[in-house]
A and B are shown apart, each in its own frame.
Chain A
Amino acid sequence: MTDEAVVAVGLVKEFGSVKALGGIDLTVKRGQVVGLLGPNGAGKTTVVRILSTLLMPTSGYAKVAGFDVVKNPAEVRREIGLTGQYAAVNEYLTGRENLAMFGALYHLPAKYVREKSAELLESFELTDAADRPAKTYSGGMRRRLDLASSLIAQPSILFLDEPTTGLDPRSRLGMWDVINGLVADGTTVLLTTQYLEEADQLADEIVVIDHGRVIAQGTAETLKDQIGGDRIEISVIDPTRVTDAVDAIRTVSSGEPAVEGLTISAPVSGGSTVLVSAIRALDVQGVEVGDILLRRPTLDDVFLSLTGHAAEEDAAPSDEPKKRGKGRK
């Protein structure tokens, strides 16, 4: 057994003329949790789909559990579990039936599947709903059933593609608990997310990708240091005074301020006292301020400090050219 659960080198994926991945390198060690962080269309899902043998890379190669994803897809599939962006369960079947079906398709003995299903349903708080069709489940329950389905064969490597997207805050916290529990059991996890907070909560290491390329990599701590923790954000009333305001903010910030329209934001350290210094500095310049606040860093801030532009929601090409009417939700 190799030390690296996932190794990807120079992964490129083109869909026609659209380049979804422009050469991704990625390593996940056994027992590690790596978060792939990026906005919509950054290529996160494409990476997961290549690693889980659903898509062939245009060039580059990847090994999962020591097996080449292109040459030995069958071996890879025996080692992995995949939970996609939408709950991949048959909604007409009950929770228990779904697990029985996937267990049988993993070629597991029926007795084992029965016992393991009961155990998973219990630990994911689905026992009461186990014999109801999945149709009747809430969004959070479906995601938990989805996750349980990918765990029935106790995979050593788990791919979680945006496991909490679309969930309400309470269900999201529930999913985090479940995922943290798996990690404690030693499962290797590669998860994708749009939320810095989620990557921070779950991942040992974060890989930030944008436009199909890795733009930063490190622990949540190192990334946060790079962004500089809290940010101050002010909006100026008079457009002609923006440069003066930037000068004023520069005297209190720990990094270069970023400007978007009338809004100026900059990384700061020192907590709320910074607010006082900022107001004083702006007052010295005689700049009138409409709004001022101090906030925790968001994905946008990561992107602002790493790329100089905000995380583009719609401008970036989608992961795959849309062929079907139904969007991925």
Chain B
Amino acid sequence: MTASVQTRKRPLLGWNISDGVVVSRFSLVQTLRVPELMFFSLVQPVIFVLLFAYVFGGAIPIAGTGASAEDAANIYRNYLMPGIFGQTVAFAAAASTVGMAEAMSTGLIDRFRSLPMASGAVLIGHTFADAARQILVLLVLSITGFLVGWRITGGVWNAVCAYLLLLLFAYSVTWVGASIGLAMPNVETASTAGLVWLFPLTFLSNAFVPLSSMPSWLQPIAAYNPVSTLVLATRELFGNPTGLQPDYWPLNNPTIYTIGSCALVIAIFATLSIRKYTKTTAK
């Protein structure tokens, strides 16, 4: 007979959080082992900054501003950066989709499910690590932005709040991504399905163009898109130009609307995906 081993006491925040931290810690170690992946996930948003700043820079006028062409381009870059931040954190969901699909395609998921660990921990850990990776992405983006003329003028505290809001948004979309990843039959499908919904989500917003430039039937859709309110809220917090806003409740209360949507998305998709996870075996 083998001797049983004394296990640790139940931690203060519960096993879901404690086990989730273990999973995310090793997920982040894994990131360090594949620096190439991290590198390319950084290159993409940087390319976006450069493309938008220099290709579209002079072509998109921001209402309520602008004198010379050079001023207009500089104003657009300051308008653009929060948009790129918003788009980038939204795309964190795609990595989450592929990550979950990958985890499902190996026997690892069977092992996790046969362990006496908390049932939500694998998902909590993965989504947390996916959001945490965005910290480095935001840092690199901010430096790139600074180099093309983006400036924070809203004060340190407000800037911290803006970054926290972006990370909260990243965390909420990684749950959506994880849910999609769990539902996909294989990694290949997941890598496509994880991306398609993100293009309308990020482009049907004020991330790159002012809402006032959109056709009037499209404006309400974009106004209620949480990406729009996230980007608007960060523009305000960073002290960047916001353009003129059409009169919609979310746009008048962007921070509250963004936090509320994130909370709702996490509640719905965490429930859905944890339920799905507890019934999944390796495929």
Report whether B281 and A325 are in contact in the complex, using a CB–CB cutoff of 8 Å.
no
Binds A, one of B61-69, B87-95, B101-109, B203-211: B101-109
Whether, in the assembled complex, A170 has its beta carbon less than 8 Å from a beta carbon of chain B, the answer is: no
Report whether A89 and B108 are in contact in the complex, using a CB–CB cutoff of 8 Å.
yes
Tell me how far the C-beta of A97 lies from the nearest C-beta in chain B, rounded to whole angstroms: 6
Contacts of A92 in B (CB 8 A): 29-30, 33-34
Whether, in the assembled complex, B114 has its beta carbon less than 8 Å from a beta carbon of chain A, the answer is: yes
Contacts of B33 in A (CB 8 A): 92-93, 133
Tell me how far the C-beta of A88 lies from the nearest C-beta in chain B, rounded to whole angstroms: 4
CA distance A109 to B111 in the complex (A): 20
**0/1 string, A89-120, CB within 8 A of B gives 1:** 11011000100011011111100100000000
Q: Which residue of A lies closest to B118 (CB)?
A: A105
Contacts of B15 in A (CB 8 A): 107
**Given A53-B113, A88-B282, A154-B5, 19 new contacts (CB under 8 A):** A49-B281, A52-B110, A54-B281, A77-B116, A80-B114, A84-B107, A87-B107, A88-B111, A92-B33, A93-B26, A101-B26, A105-B19, A106-B7, A106-B116, A106-B117, A109-B8, A153-B5, A324-B186, A326-B105
Contacts of B3 in A (CB 8 A): 154
With A93-B33, A109-B6, A109-B8: A325-B114 Cβ-Cβ less than 8 Å:
no
**0/1 string, A181-213, CB within 8 A of B gives 1:** 000011100000000000000000000000000
With A107-B7, A156-B2: A88-B107 Cβ-Cβ less than 8 Å:
yes
- Interface of A, secondary structure class, is loop
Pick from A150, A155, A156, A187: contact of B111, CB below 8 A. Answer: A150
Report whether A90 and B110 are in contact in the complex, using a CB–CB cutoff of 8 Å.
no
Q: List 18 A-B contacts (CB under 8 A).
A: A31-B1, A49-B281, A53-B114, A84-B110, A86-B107, A90-B30, A93-B26, A105-B19, A106-B115, A106-B116, A108-B5, A112-B6, A133-B33, A153-B5, A156-B2, A325-B186, A325-B188, A326-B186
Contacts of B2 in A (CB 8 A): 154-156, 185-187
Contacts of B6 in A (CB 8 A): 109, 112
CA distance A320 to B281 in the complex (A): 10
Contacts of B30 in A (CB 8 A): 90, 92-93
**In the A-B complex, the 5 residue pairs with the closest CB atoms:** A324-B283, A88-B107, A325-B186, A88-B111, A77-B116
Report whether B1 and A30 are in contact in the complex, using a CB–CB cutoff of 8 Å.
yes
Tell me how far the C-beta of A111 lies from the nearest C-beta in chain B, rounded to whole angstroms: 11
**0/1 string, B104-139, CB within 8 A of A gives 1:** 111110111111110001000000000000000000
Contacts of A81 in B (CB 8 A): 114
**Which B residues are closer than 8 A to A by beta carbons?**
1-8, 15, 19, 22-23, 26, 29-30, 33-34, 104-108, 110-117, 121, 185-189, 281-283
Q: Which residue of B lies closest to A55 (CB)?
A: B281
Report whether A97 and B282 are in contact in the complex, using a CB–CB cutoff of 8 Å.
no
Report whether B114 and A156 are in contact in the complex, using a CB–CB cutoff of 8 Å.
no
Report whether A101 and B22 are in contact in the complex, using a CB–CB cutoff of 8 Å.
yes
Report whether A108 and B8 are in contact in the complex, using a CB–CB cutoff of 8 Å.
yes
**Interface size (A, Cβ < 8 Å)?**
49
CA distance A19 to B37 in the complex (A): 43
CA distance A54 to B106 in the complex (A): 15
CA distance A82 to B282 in the complex (A): 13
Q: Which residue of A lies closest to B15 (CB)?
A: A107
Report whether A105 and B114 are in contact in the complex, using a CB–CB cutoff of 8 Å.
no
Pick from B4, B108, B114, B188: contact of A54, CB below 8 A. Answer: B114
Contacts of B187 in A (CB 8 A): 326
CA distance A229 to B121 in the complex (A): 51
Q: Which residue of A lies closest to B27 (CB)?
A: A90
A-B interface pairs (CB < 8 A), number: 120
Report whether A86 and B5 are in contact in the complex, using a CB–CB cutoff of 8 Å.
no
Contacts of B117 in A (CB 8 A): 105-107
Report whether A325 and B185 are in contact in the complex, using a CB–CB cutoff of 8 Å.
yes
CA distance A186 to B4 in the complex (A): 13
Which of A211-239 touch B at CB < 8 Å? none
CA distance A320 to B280 in the complex (A): 12
Q: Which residue of A lies closest to B114 (CB)?
A: A82
Report whether A105 and B281 are in contact in the complex, using a CB–CB cutoff of 8 Å.
no
Pick from B1, B22, B105, B282: contact of A84, CB below 8 A. Answer: B282
Q: Which residue of B lies closest to A82 (CB)?
A: B114
Tell me how far the C-beta of B31 lies from the nearest C-beta in chain A, rounded to whole angstroms: 9
CA distance A81 to B3 in the complex (A): 14
With A31-B1, A187-B2, A326-B283: A149-B111 Cβ-Cβ less than 8 Å:
yes
CA distance A150 to B4 in the complex (A): 14
Report whether A90 and B114 are in contact in the complex, using a CB–CB cutoff of 8 Å.
no
CA distance A150 to B108 in the complex (A): 12
CA distance A113 to B197 in the complex (A): 43
Whether, in the assembled complex, A85 has its beta carbon less than 8 Å from a beta carbon of chain B, the answer is: yes
Contacts of A78 in B (CB 8 A): 7, 116
With A92-B33, A97-B29, A107-B15: A82-B110 Cβ-Cβ less than 8 Å:
yes
Contacts of A325 in B (CB 8 A): 185-186, 188-189
Tell me how far the C-beta of B252 lies from the nearest C-beta in chain A, rounded to whole angstroms: 46
Contacts of A326 in B (CB 8 A): 105, 186-187, 283
Report whether A107 and B110 are in contact in the complex, using a CB–CB cutoff of 8 Å.
no
Report whether A93 and B29 are in contact in the complex, using a CB–CB cutoff of 8 Å.
yes
CA distance A31 to B115 in the complex (A): 21
Tell me how far the C-beta of B258 lies from the nearest C-beta in chain A, rounded to whole angstroms: 34
Tell me how far the C-beta of B161 lies from the nearest C-beta in chain A, rounded to whole angstroms: 34
Pick from A55, A88, A150, A187: contact of B106, CB below 8 A. Answer: A88
CA distance A88 to B110 in the complex (A): 8
Contacts of B189 in A (CB 8 A): 325
CA distance A184 to B121 in the complex (A): 35
